[in-house]
Amino acid sequence: MTESYTPPKVWTWDRESGGNFANINRPIAGATHDKELPVGEHPFQLYSLATPNGQKVTILFEELLEAGHDAEYDAWLINIMEGDQFGSGFVDINPNSKIPALLDRSGEKPQRVFESGAILLYLAEKFGAFLPKDPSKRTEALSWLFWQMGAAPLLGGGFGHFYAYAPTKQEYPINRYAMEVKRQLDVLDRRLADHEYLAEEYSIADMAIWPWYGGVLKNKAYDAAEFLSAHEYKNVLRWTEQIAKRPAVRRGRVVNKSWGDEPGLAERHDKSDFDKL
């Protein structure tokens, strides 16, 4: 165990204590600089990054297009390591300075939408797609969507941070969050034991959960699959692999991706952009 820590009576911000993310985390909101956002020709302007939260939305856009909906969009890269999320234009769309953020210009007045779950619900309702019509199934889908929104901070900000990104490895937080992530995986595994998808039919609930939990089990997120005994969650693995084969998912997960060995699109403005990969 690490040395015990006694908190001071009043917390003060230590800029150097944030490890790899010290330059992008701060205890205040608002813009740090003036910067207008680029705007493309399509009704939907997405400002994002191919993290799990970003992938949710680009997967939905690609699924909508695959299904024949008029959902063309421009996807612009927001480089959080360079502080793009603190530019005045981005903060105008998302005062929380987190990706993704969406501007819908299809109506009389532009509509901003922030928070990935809110964007998924907004688009699903706008197009009448990927959200079950049956009231019971719709409620189930929304329950799983909000489950993910509440659970992901424990997976990403908790387990992912302390296991993969913290300046030092600390036993207590890694054990604490690993236990919770395994509990969450067990929740999913039990649900998927007798359901093909989380809400009976493929929906925004699956699109929200797959980038996070499928990423941990199969897509090498945090390099933690062995540590978490991923092989134990056979139903989640079946579901993960099934969704990974969908053409729209394969496209959506690489939009706004500008790092790593796997090819990606820093920006996406037309379906022909995927021909570059």
Q: Where are the domains of the chain?
A: 44-130+254-276, 135-244
Q: What is the reported pLDDT for 261?
A: 83
- Interacting residues of 140 by C-beta distance below 8 A, sequence separation 6+: 132, 198, 199, 200, 205
If you average pLDDT over residues 235-239, what whole number do you get?
98
- Tens digit of each residue's pLDDT (9 = 90 or more) over 61-86: 999 999 999 999 999 999 999 999 99
Enumerate the β-bridge partners of residue 111: 104
Q: What is the reported pLDDT for 211?
A: 97
How confident is residue 195, by pLDDT bands cut at 50, 70 and 90? very high
* d(C-alpha 38, C-alpha 140), whole Å: 37
Find the range with the poorest average confidence among 24-28, 78-82, 226-230.
24-28
Strands, E, within the chain: which ranges? 44-48, 73-77, 101-104, 111-114
If you average pLDDT over residues 153-161, what whole number do you get?
94
Which amino acid is residue 146, in one-letter code?
Answer: F
Lookup: tokens for 215: 């990423």
Q: What is the reported pLDDT for 20?
A: 67
From edge to edge, which strands make up the β-sheet containing 111-114?
73-77, 44-48, 101-104, 111-114
User: One fold for both 44-130+254-276 and 135-244?
Assistant: no
- pLDDT of 18 > 70? The answer is no
* d(C-alpha 7, C-alpha 78), whole Å: 35
What does CATH list as the number for 135-244? Answer: 1.20.1050.10
Crossing angle of helices 135-153 and 116-127, in 10° steps, is: 160
Enumerate the β-bridge partners of residue 75: 46, 268
CATH architecture of 44-130+254-276: 3-Layer(aba) Sandwich (3.40)
Residue predicted with more confidence, 219 or 116 = 116
- pLDDT of 134 > 90? The answer is yes
Which amino acid is residue 211, in one-letter code?
Answer: P
Q: What is the reported pLDDT for 260?
A: 84
Crossing angle of helices 234-244 and 171-192, in 10° steps, is: 80
pTM for this prediction: 0.95
